[in-house]
Structure 1
Amino acid sequence: MDLELGPLQLAWLGDAVWELHQRLRRCRQPGRSADLHRAVVAEVRADAQAAALSRLEAAGLLTDAELDLVRRGRNRAGRGPRRGDAAAYGQATGFETMVGWLFLQNPSRLGQLLAHLEDADP
């Protein structure tokens, strides 16, 4: 797939991929749909995405190319929601950019990083 997408398009795609990943994790658990929805919403918020990125960085798992994608996404992020933390929003946009790119270009690598996040936060 040869798509020339910018950081914000990749972030938009990465946000959807991350939400789908969280929904798939939750659908394996018993529970009411409203409770499962709340759990997913908690994981797709900017602060949760920023925390996921932080865990990957702290573990030293990201390549230079992946860190560059994060930087490009972070630099293109706007301020975010009025009441939100601008720094967390930027980190989340960087995370989403990387996830979107990996989804299109290297799904097996994306799977490795998502598996690490699941192992770190079961």
Structure 2
Amino acid sequence: MNPLAFHTLPKKAGLINPVVLAYMGDAVFELLIRQYLLSLSNHKSHHLHREATKLVSAKAQRQLLERVQQLLTEEEADIVRRGRNAKSGAPPKNADVADYRQATALECLIGYLYYEGRFDRLAVLIGIAVEETVAEQVAKE
């Protein structure tokens, strides 16, 4: 058993409401981003927070999803569609509706992969997306 899987689900992840998957995906994504940032050299809390904010906003999550979209399996693409089309409430005031829906789709995928125990796949997709995003940000500076 993977130490990250503390509890087994009563049903298959594919049967869980996409908004619930996105809820868990949001938490897992935040944890993965924090772990990634701690692997870098600057550990000042202000810097960590600022860098995390660049990657966890709705706009950034939409961009991350766009980076891995072509790598998704048919099953994963279906989960993304379900997440994007889910009625998840009103977006935050500072978020574009389209960005928010795409961010929810990414979070849904992350929640799905987490609950399915596909940690290696999750690491591959998030790793590709984050590394490309960070490289692009560094190039702009």
The TM-score, its normalising length taken from structure 2, stands at 0.78
Distance in 2 (alpha carbons) for counterparts of 1:81 and 1:87: 12
Aligned residues: 120
Moved more, 66-75 or 88-97: 66-75
> Which has the greater radius of gyration?
2
Structure 2: stretches of 5+ with no match in the other structure: 1-7, 135-141
Matched, 1:18 2:25: no
Q: Which residue of 2 aligns with 1:2?
A: 9
Report the AA paired with residue 22 of structure 2: A
Contact in 1 for aligned 2:22/2:111 (Cα 8 Å): yes
Residue number in structure 2 paired with 1:75: 85
Correspondence for 2:97: 86
Q: How many Å apart are 1:108 and its aligned residue?
A: 1.8
**Once the 2 structures are TM-superposed, how far is the Cα of residue 39 of structure 1 from its aligned partner?**
0.8
- Using the alignment, how far apart are the partners of 2:133 and 2:92 within structure 1? 26
Partner in structure 2 of residue 95 of structure 1: 106
User: Which residue matches 1:37?
Assistant: 49
Letter in 2 for 1:43: L
Q: Which residue of 1 aligns with 2:38?
A: 27
d(CA) in 1 for partners of 2:123 and 2:94? 32
Gaps of 5+ in 1: none
CA distance in 2, matches of 1:81, 1:114: 23
Q: CA offset at residue 28 of structure 1?
A: 2.0
Q: How does 1:99-110 map to 2 (within 5 A)?
A: 99-105=110-116, 106-110=118-122
TM-score of the aligned structures, taking structure 1 as reference length = 0.89
Give a deviation string over 1:28-61, Cα, whole Å, max 9, x none: 222311111111122111111110000111xx20
Correspondence for 1:112 among 109, 114, 124: 124
Q: Report percent identity of matched pairs.
A: 38
Change (3 A) 1:120 1:74: same
- 2: CA distance, partners of 1:39 / 1:20: 13
Contact 1:78 1:90 in 2 (8 A): no
Offset of residue 98 of structure 1:
0.3
CA contact 2:65–2:129 (8 Å) conserved in 1: no
Tell me the equivalent position of 2:71: 61
